[in-house]
Amino acid sequence: MSNNNTSSGHLVVTVGAGPAGIYSARKLAEAGHEVVIINRDIKPGGLVEYGIYFNKHKLKEGVRKQFRNILADPRVHYFGHIKIGQQADLTLDELREILNPAATIIAAGAQGTKGLGLPGDTAPGVYHAKDVVYHYNGLPPFSEREFLIGQRVAIIGIGNVMVDVAHWLVHVKKVKEVIAVARRGPAQRAYTDVEIQAVSANIETSALQAELERVRARVEAVDGNLEAIYQDLTKHINIKAKEGESPTSMLFRYLCAPSEIILGENGMPRALRVENTELVKRGEDLSAKGLGTFDEIDVDTVIFAIGDRVDETLGLPCGGTEYVKNPNPDPDHPGNEAYQVFDPAEGKICSGVFVIGWSRKASDGLVGKAKQDGERGVVVVNNYLAKVEPGSAERAAEKIEALRQTLQSRNVRFVDYSDIQKLENIERVESEKRGVEFFKYFTDAEMLAAIEEITK
Ligand SMILES: Cc1cc2nc3c(=O)[nH]c(=O)nc-3n(C[C@H](O)[C@H](O)[C@H](O)COP(=O)(O)OP(=O)(O)OC[C@H]3O[C@@H](n4cnc5c(N)ncnc54)[C@H](O)[C@@H]3O)c2cc1C
């Protein structure tokens, strides 16, 4: 709870209640600002709630506790179950018109998906990792969608998200094979030693040895000793996963770039066509260069785990996978430009609009990094607000009431923080009744019904 009793008179609106949005709200409230947080999901938390693997109870609950403190601050006004953007509940312009905020912060994460544009990649049985992660973590509507998962699942990418998805495939779906496919080599793995332990007991050592033998010449040309790489890749294989044993084989294919998803007669994946690659130096980095020779890997499901992009329909100018930031150094506060949204069509800064967290840099780092980025963003916002004429706490309250009325007149079923507290209480009681560590509802209808039941 903020210790500052003096109101700054400023109203700040933040879109998104993930770690970047919530941790930054604490700093904004401490500076005396009224903070309105608009969140697409009923529950706050973003990827803490719906991204981090569901058995990491301690980690999730630790962060939730901090979020609860921040969201209970009287200066922080939570509005959940409201999507901002084109064809959403409110456009960003409408939101800003109603609230007329002194500053607008976009902390909506990276909700778009990145694809490779391969033939066959829109077929059933081909998915983006984020959608799968949202599905198994219970985020509506993904939680209610059917995902057609076969027995041989290729995951494109070898980062921590690949490991999380593999974790689910190995220990929940218990598929026959998970094949992690990498354009680059084994030494360029992006997953960490801690994360891989969830599936390391399922790594097929003989298959791994054969795969390393297949790429030996290409790996040793740039990365040295293959035996040392093998030792590194297998150092956790004796660690048993918390969930016990699973029949799944965890396999790897290195130095091959997916080029096509070959579909069978049923219109679903039959094989993944890949081009063999070699590693070439590009500046400091090693990148994959196609060799013009191709292989087919038998698969019936393909999941892309190659990072995300921001949502282009939110209402901010986009370039590549990110929103456009000020390309010119801020003369007064060098570094601040990285948080300022820029309109290339107008050739100027979108005054008073800022990006933080994964909305600023898609798929960048863990919760700690999103927190740090949100807090750094607040410094930038406060530098800006120092030059803005303040309003008053009373005026801010009127604007918040105007937002409530507009939403009601449009029949938008939004929730506030007291609703979230009710929901969490009911879920706590349910988890005790069921004797499980944690219980949560997987549909909006159930969450809203639970809130309404207790409100009666
Ligand atoms: C699969 C996976 C596993 C991970 N595991 C870990 C882990 O174990 N440990 C760890 O520390 N980190 C982990 N991370 C990383 C961590 O979750 C992120 O660093 C962090 O959540 C990013 O925070 P954010 O606030 O920028 O975005 P997000 O967490 O994505 O939050 C964005 C929020 O914006 C809201 N929103 C989106 N669009 C709109 C809209 N149009 N209108 C209104 N609201 C909107 C969403 O509802 C959401 O609440 C993981 C990430 C992934 C993808």
> Which is nearest to 122 in space by CA: 236, 271, 267, 9?
267
Q: CA neighbours within 13 Å on the CB side: how many for 206?
A: 0
* pLDDT, the chain, mean: 95
- Provide mean pLDDT across the span 173-194: 96
| In the predicted structure, residue 2 carries a pLDDT above the cut 70 | no
H/E element, 256: strand 256-263
Per-residue pLDDT tens digits for 231-283: 999 999 988 888 989 999 999 999 999 999 999 999 999 999 999 999 998 88
User: Residue 115 has what pLDDT?
Assistant: 84
Nearest CA owner, ligand 1 atom 7: 52
- As a whole-number percent, the residues of the chain with pLDDT over 90 amount to 92
H/E element, 294: strand 285-298
* Burial (Cβ within 10 Å: 0-12, 13-18, ≥19) of residue 231: exposed
Say if ligand 1 is within 6 A of residue 306 CB: no
- Provide mean pLDDT across the span 1-15: 83
User: Residue 378 has what pLDDT?
Assistant: 98
Pairing of strands 301-304, 126-128: parallel
How far apart, in whole angstroms, are the C-alpha atoms of residue 79 and residue 83?
10
Say if ligand 1 is within 6 A of residue 21 CB: yes
Could you tell me the end-to-end alpha-carbon distance of the chain, in angstroms, rounded to an integer? 29
Per-residue pLDDT tens digits for 143-156: 999 999 999 999 99
| In the predicted structure, residue 434 carries a pLDDT above the cut 80 | yes
> Which is nearest to 322 in space by CA: 66, 112, 44?
112
Per-residue pLDDT tens digits for 120-132: 999 999 999 999 9
Q: What's the CA-to-centroid distance between 52 and ligand 1, angstroms?
A: 9
- The amino acid that residue 72 corresponds to is A
- Provide mean pLDDT across the span 362-374: 96
Nearest CA owner, ligand 1 atom 27: 109
Per-residue pLDDT tens digits for 86-115: 999 999 999 999 999 999 999 999 999 988
**DSSP reduced 3-state for 2:** coil
Say if ligand 1 is within 6 A of residue 35 CB: no
Say if ligand 1 is within 6 A of residue 111 CB: yes
Q: What is the DSSP letter of 140?
A: T
Most ligand 1 atoms within 8 A of CB, residue of 15, 52, 135 to mutate: 52
